[in-house]
Structure 1
Amino acid sequence: MSQPSILIVGGGAFGTSTAYHLSHRGYADVTVLDRFAAPSKDAAATDLNKIVRYDYPNPLYTKLGLEAMRVWKDPNSLFRDLFRPTGWIMSAHEMTRDFLKAAYESGVKEKRKGVKWMSIAETKSKWPEFTGSFDGWTNLWSPEAGWVPSGEALLRFATAAQANGVKYVSGNAGFAKKILYNDEGACIGVLTANGQAHLADIVILCTGANTATLIDAKDEIVARSHCVGIMQLTPDEVEKYKNLPIVDDFEQGTSSKFISPGSQTKH
């Protein structure tokens, strides 16, 4: 029995992962469509950095986070040497203390060592670079968390998928504008911005916030976003702050990921 042709719309983390794993499971006719070449500029994963952690109140997310952490740390994995184990301070005030409590309890249940509440005095003692008063902050310390250069990780993933036979189509030829159906109402492919019809036995949408432009999903999907600013540190600032952990204030919109010396820092 011949294998089906598979069309994946969207070359972000979900689309690229799907393509990579399908190709390694023996599917030989896999195509990824995206408006941009890998790593796609539309993808949320195409970023300077993303936090890698397992501190989730949701047990499923915790399980997935632990599985992912093992891959990031594996010296033989596709993503070797990308994980930066900086640790992570999660901070809350009135509205998000319950979230932190659930994250703490999840860490304790999984017997993760070092996850603990950290007072402001202890925080400033461990990292004297912090000079603010931190009024009203409740801090949870997660020592095993860290960050990865996620855009580079996505590029490695896509490159490996292509090396295993996955076809990537970008530009207007990869910009899906309309889903195509047959007379029975079954999806048979997509129409792209250049007028080309891409047909396949199986069509998989991995389109994130753009999903609602292709199907009526307003009752199932809500697109959300965050404002992000990037600061270039001076060499002196890099030296001063290079040993700081990730700091994430869930209520005041403060998140800092300090990247290696000489590069950028995201806030």
Structure 2
Amino acid sequence: MKFIPIMEISGQIMTLIEDAEKSLIIVSPYIEIAKWEKLKKCLQRAVDRGVSIIIYTREYAKQNLDPLRAFKVKIILVKDLHSKIYLNDAYGIVSSQNLYHYSDINSIDFAYKTETDEERNQLVNLINKYLANSKPIEQYIIASKTEVGNEIVVEKEEGTNVFPLKDIDLEKIKEWFHDKFPEIKMNSTKQYVYCNKLLACGDVMLREGFEIRFSYGIKNQDQYIKAIQTLNFENNNYKYEKTLVTNNSQAPYLIYVPQEVTDIQKLIYDYIFIAKTIIDKTRNIKI
């Protein structure tokens, strides 16, 4: 690992966020970014690029997470969390610094950056072993705020959503898709399953939802999007929140996010049905 100069830690963390292409994991017991405009812009750009963002923070810590919820990232509370790790697709940073604006201005912190895939994978394994595969309180939550004096108190109802998906769940999804669609190529990590050319109009990523990544510059792209958006999946096992993201600098993507998932097998049945329905609906559209 390579030592990061003390005065460069926050900048390196923001660069790590900017470098994220598919996934970003932030582990920080204490988080406060309400007035940290530069960092919020980094997160917004990552969201706009379609980066999957998971944030682990400390259970019962006195902090305002509303600025993070505004980005619709996945927030997971973990009991007794004390580690600080920042991780994207290519490398990671281990630091004593929380994602806390006050720390950026006032604290003396130390940090190291990984230099090899092996070093990054060690961090991934730590997160999977002690955080993702433990039993954190998962924050697909209903939250309400009340002010008590000068302090904001967030009252929350914890959900039972199965996300983030565990290794065994992702492997099961991969096996089912390989069985139902043997002609497609697939690759997977501990965060997602990626189906290359599952659809004529692009690829599919399965992580916190069924995400259609349209091929860049494909002909009749608008026609594909319009056809898929007309589909109704209300009679599936789960209800789905649909979001279309467009950006001039990259191809659009459409994601169906399941709500309150408690059974991974039912989710797989839904995903298979969604894939087959989209394939049938778009079969006659010419590329």
TM range (shorter): under 0.3
Q: What TM-score comes out, normalization by structure 2 length?
A: 0.21
Higher relative contact order (CA 8 A, sep 6+): 1
Larger strand proportion of the pair: 2
TM-score in terms of structure 1 length: 0.22
Q: Give the structure with higher Rg (CA).
A: 1
